[in-house]
Amino acid sequence: MHVETQMESGKAIRTHKVMGLVNLQEFNEILTVIYNAPEFDPKMNSLWDVREADFTAVTPQEIRALAEFVRGNWEEKKMQKAAIVVSGLFDFGITRMYEQVLGPATAGKVMIFRNLKTASDWIEGRTSSSSPQQVKQSGSGSNPPQ
């Protein structure tokens, strides 16, 4: 697994691109490094591109543990946005489980998308010029559009 992170302080966005077979223990270690980086600002919005990630080895217990870990580090960013860009229904299921466990820490600001530009536009508060491909907004139904 590999995670590339870019912190754009001018836009107040952290962009994370996750690639390869996801190992949750390794992922927690990577998150710890990100959270402890000098340039880390918890008030930044986050954009997670997981379209090239492989979640097939991840268990429901690991998703719960990851969400609890993130929740413990989310105190200062309760009102920030987090967009997760997925490539298919399996990824949607994993990210939906994560979102549900994360729960109130997100304050309704987590959305799952299939289009990177649409996700970026949502984070920045712009209307997307591409066709809407949002999969799900926190608090709405749990099935993605077909």
Q: Is 91 contained in some domain?
A: yes
CATH number at residue 92: 3.30.750.24
Stretch 24-42: mean pLDDT: 86
Mean of pLDDT over the chain: 79
Q: How far is CA 84 from CA 26, 38, 43, in A?
A: 19, 24, 17
Domain count, the chain: 1
pTM, two decimal places: 0.79
Q: Given this model, what pLDDT does residue 140 score?
A: 39
Q: Is 102 contained in some domain?
A: yes
Query: Each residue of 63-121: pLDDT tens digit?
Result: 888 888 877 766 655 568 889 999 988 888 888 888 777 766 556 578 889 899 999 99
CB-count exposure of residue 127 (10 Å: 0-12, 13-18, 19+):
exposed
Q: Is 144 contained in some domain?
A: no
Which domain range does residue 35 map to? 2-137
What's the start-to-end Cα distance of the chain, in Å?
29
Do residues 19 and 2 make contact, with C-beta atoms less than 8 angstroms apart?
A: yes
Alpha-helical regions (H) of the chain: 24-36, 60-72, 89-102, 116-124
- Closest of 41, 42, 44, 115 to residue 84, by C-alpha: 115
Q: Is 127 contained in some domain?
A: yes
- Tell me: pLDDT of 49 over 50: yes
CB-count exposure of residue 39 (10 Å: 0-12, 13-18, 19+):
exposed
Q: Is 142 contained in some domain?
A: no
Q: Is 117 contained in some domain?
A: yes
